């Protein structure tokens, strides 16, 4: 197994020179209520431009609830880090958000509540994290976002959105491709949203999910294709924040009464991933094409897989920000990262 000291020089080599670090742009890091996430923000706030806590949920009638950890607020204020919380449809429930978009009373209540949330708490902005949105609600989502943007801008708050990536407007060759296109990828009119939103965080991670075979968390070519498509759609590079994963993915067989026997993938921290490798006495292999390390081993005759997001993989993806002159990057999530990422050019300050 390679040590961190062995991996770090390889990671640093992906960025050509120290002066490229300044060109990496805005560093947005997502946080959660997990203690490891809070502590990572407190420890590294000096290296973060924007902290985006996943803190607020919106119900089907437009009421918003939640809170930001007081320690996150205090640290952000003290370190002059912009505070832009997320609002989600809880559980990414499709019907909850569909009702808000299509019921006039719920929609108006949501617009007013979002503006009040940002204004009254002196946040710097709000980011939408509305996912599992059906393609039939595409135009309604765009117009709703426009109304919210107007209200927030009047309150001197920004509006951004975390958007699911796609590399074309072609649904895809299989039933799975068509399903994920219609329910996850196609609801975002990138160009229209970028015209009135301050920026878009492109969620270029979770390329493979529990519904797919094992695969990279964020294959390099897949990420680059998503960036190219966003640019070709008319979104300026200055409004694109590249999504970067800090978490690794572990794939293993499982069984439950509802779904029967199947393979599932779950995210895990760098520390937990390294523990799995050590437990199974495995050294991961670097995939030069995907720019991500992977490993597999046998567990009583059944293979298990790990795709590792370490500092080397992080650095390779971070280079895309400079290459395409993007606004910056958005990392999911604080508390799961390889500690060595904080020493990378473009991250270290």
Tens place of pLDDT for every residue, the chain, 349 residues? 333 333 333 333 333 333 333 447 999 999 999 999 999 999 999 999 999 999 999 999 999 999 999 999 999 999 999 999 999 999 999 999 999 999 999 999 999 999 999 999 999 999 999 999 999 999 999 999 999 999 999 999 999 999 999 999 999 999 999 999 999 999 999 999 999 999 999 999 999 988 899 999 999 999 999 999 999 999 999 999 999 999 999 999 988 877 788 788 899 999 999 999 999 999 999 999 999 999 999 999 999 999 999 999 999 999 999 999 999 999 999 999 999 999 999 897 7
282 is a domain residue: no
239 is a domain residue: yes
Give the integer Cα–Cα distance in Å for 333 and 138. Answer: 27
- Domain of 50, CATH number, reads 3.20.20.80
Could you give the residue ranges of the DSSP H alpha helices within the chain? Answer: 4-12, 35-44, 70-79, 94-102, 104-121, 138-154, 175-180, 190-196, 220-232, 270-279, 311-323
- Convert 277-316 into a string of H (helix), E (strand) and C (coil): HHHCCCCCEEECCCCEEEEEEEECCEEEEEEECCHHHHHH
Nearest to 248 by CA among 271, 222, 221: 271
302 is a domain residue: no
Cβ neighbours of residue 306 under 8 Å, at least 6 residues apart?
248, 249, 250, 251, 273, 276, 277, 282, 284, 294, 295, 296
Per-residue model confidence (pLDDT) at position 16? 34
Structure tokens at 194: 């970028």
Per-residue model confidence (pLDDT) at position 12? 37
284 is a domain residue: no
In degrees and rounded to multiples of 5, residue 247 shows phi and psi of -95, 155
Torsion region of 142: left, alpha or beta (phi above 0 gives left; psi -120 to 50 gives alpha): alpha
166 is a domain residue: yes
Nearest to 161 by CA among 184, 133, 190, 119: 190
Per-residue model confidence (pLDDT) at position 24? 72
172 is a domain residue: yes
The residue range of the domain holding 70 is 16-245+310-343
288 is a domain residue: no
The number of folded domains in the chain is 1
Give the integer Cα–Cα distance in Å for 28 and 125. Answer: 13
269 is a domain residue: no
Per-residue model confidence (pLDDT) at position 8? 37
Nearest to 347 by CA among 35, 37, 40: 40
């Amino acid at each position: 197994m390679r040590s961190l000291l062995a991996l770090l020089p390889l990671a640093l080599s992906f960025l050509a020179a120290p002066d490229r670090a300044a060109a990496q742009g805005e560093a947005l890091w997502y946080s959660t209520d997990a203690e490891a996430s809070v502590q990572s923000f407190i420890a590294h706030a000096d290296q973060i431009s924007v902290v985006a806590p996943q803190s607020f949920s919106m119900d089907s009638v437009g009421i918003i609830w939640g809170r930001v950890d007081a320690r996150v607020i205090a640290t952000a204020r003290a370190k002059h880090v912009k505070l832009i919380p997320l609002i989600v449809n809880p559980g990414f429930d499709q019907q909850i958000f569909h009702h808000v978009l299509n019921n006039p009373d719920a929609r108006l209540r949501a617009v007013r509540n979002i503006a009040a949330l940002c204004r009254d708490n002196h946040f710097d902005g709000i980011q939408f994290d509305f996912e599992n949105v059906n393609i039939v609600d595409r135009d309604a989502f765009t117009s709703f976002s426009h109304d919210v943007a107007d209200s927030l801008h009047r309150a001197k708050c920004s509006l951004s959105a975390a958007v699911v990536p796609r590399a074309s407007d072609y649904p895809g060759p299989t039933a799975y491709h068509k399903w994920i296109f219609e329910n996850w990828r196609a609801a975002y009119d990138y160009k229209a949203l970028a015209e009135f939103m301050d920026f878009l965080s492109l969620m270029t991670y979770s390329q493979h999910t529990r519904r797919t075979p094992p695969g990279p968390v964020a294959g390099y070519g897949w990420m680059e294709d998503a960036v190219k498509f966003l640019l070709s759609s008319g979104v300026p590079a200055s409004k694109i924040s590249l999504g970067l994963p800090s978490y690794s993915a572990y794939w293993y067989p499982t069984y439950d009464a509802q779904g029967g026997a199947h393979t599932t993938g779950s995210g895990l921290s760098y520390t937990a991933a390294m523990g799995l490798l050590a437990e199974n006495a495995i050294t991961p292999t670097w995939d030069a094409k995907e720019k991500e390390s992977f490993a597999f081993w046998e567990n009583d005759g059944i293979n298990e897989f790990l795709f590792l997001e370490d500092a080397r993989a992080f650095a390779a993806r971070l280079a895309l920000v400079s290459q395409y002159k993007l606004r910056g990057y958005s990392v999911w999530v604080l508390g799961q990262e390889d500690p060595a990422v904080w020493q990378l050019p473009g991250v270290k300050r």
